Copies of this chain bind each other. A is one copy, B any other.
Amino acid sequence: MERTELENLGEFGLIKRLSKHIKNSNPTTVLGIGDDAAVIDAGDYYTLITTDMLMEGVHFDLSYAPLKHLGYKCAISNFSDIYAMNGKPTHMVVSIGLSNRFSLEAIEELYAGIISAAEVYGVDIVGGDTVSSKSGLVVNIAAYGKVDKDKVVYRSGAKDKDLLVVSGDLGGAYMGLQILEREKAVFESTPGVQPDLEGHDYILERQLKPEARKDVVEILAQLGVKPTSMIDISDGLASEVLHLCDSSAVGAHLYEEKIPIDPTVVSAATDFNLDPTICALNGGEDYELLFTIAQSDYEKLKGNPHFTFIGHIEEGSSPTLVARDGTAHELKAQGWDAFLEKKKGDSETDSQV
């Protein structure tokens, strides 16, 4: 029998291969695999469905991720996928695989984080599964939401000359992870040393307790702006721009100088001899929203502190990064590859297999 190694395919290659065999037949299936969430016709509205699996040792490290924060993050990463469809999450089911290394109190901590996120975002926990794991902790959450039929936003709707907009700022979660990994390494080589996390509150919170951009969906509705396309930033800006361009069959010009990066991210990146732009482009888990709007909506978002215009759609061109010096570069994603040895924290994904 033939044997094709997964590392030769990568995650998105695997998804493409597996998806090929899937044929949907249910007339209520509006959109299956290929966006942040599936879209099901529920009659008066659309139901949105998404799921995420997080594995210990791959997506999180319990030596520095408190269980409560971990639970919170698992939940919001799903909510973020629903917001990326311009929807509202309403229900979730939670599966947990755990070994007897965990006590009841530990699991209650994890659950407290999930419940806290459920309360903050107005989502009900309606079911789940708890099973025994022979090794690490596994958390799988599936979230459901709804969206008015005329409000749903796909990855595929970007049109020529639309403006590329991003919420918040980028690279923080990635830099937070670098700090945590550094302090863990110091602690492991010199036990007893207290971790030096001072001054890094913002980026640590971006990594350990990120929020999903519920507010963005609400603000856009208030401003009367319906994005032409949208995706959440879980794998890094570059990867998401490429997904959006690929789904919409367009190119884009992304301007390096426009990418919003918090000064504390710049300063931490400098400490690590990292280019802040690279952190923003390839560091994952920021859970901001990337979207496009028609030029006619520009005035509605102009000057709004939640949003930054970072470029525009160019039909017939490739996705391009325009550097500060004006030179143009083909936009590439370091990408997420589940099957190569890599740093933790780059491995979030919201891809629908």
Contact = CB atoms under 8 A, between A and B. Distances in A.
A347 B131 contact: yes
B95 A130 contact: no
Interface in A16-54: 17-18, 21-26, 28-29, 31-33, 37-38, 40, 42-44, 47, 49-54
A126 B33 contact: yes
Contacts of A347: 131-132
Contacts of A215: none
A202 to B, nearest CB: 28
Contact of A32 (B37, B40, B90, B124): B124
Most central of A22, A131, A138 by chain B CB within 10 Å = A131
A225 B49 CA distance: 32
Contacts of A112: 21
Given A9-B104, A22-B125, A42-B42, A93 B49 contact: yes
A55 B138 CA distance: 10
A28 B90 CA distance: 9
Interface stretch (A56-64, A172-180, A192-200, A253-261): A56-64
A278 interface: no
A2 B105 contact: yes
Most central of A26, A43, A95 by chain B CB within 10 Å = A95
B93 A131 contact: no
A186 interface: no
Given A57-B134, A105-B1, A134-B57, A128 B51 contact: yes
A48 to B, nearest CB: 10
B97 A53 contact: yes
A287 interface: no
Is chain A's binding surface mostly helix, strand, loop or mixed? mixed
A69 to B, nearest CB: 17
B52 A104 contact: no
16 contacts: A4-B104, A9-B104, A21-B115, A22-B118, A29-B91, A32-B124, A32-B126, A33-B126, A40-B126, A47-B47, A53-B97, A53-B129, A57-B134, A126-B352, A129-B350, A138-B140
Interface of A: 1-7, 9, 11, 14-15, 17-18, 21-26, 28-29, 31-33, 37-38, 40, 42-44, 47, 49-59, 90-91, 93-98, 100, 102-105, 107-108, 111-112, 115, 118-119, 122-136, 138, 140, 142, 144, 338-339, 347, 349-353
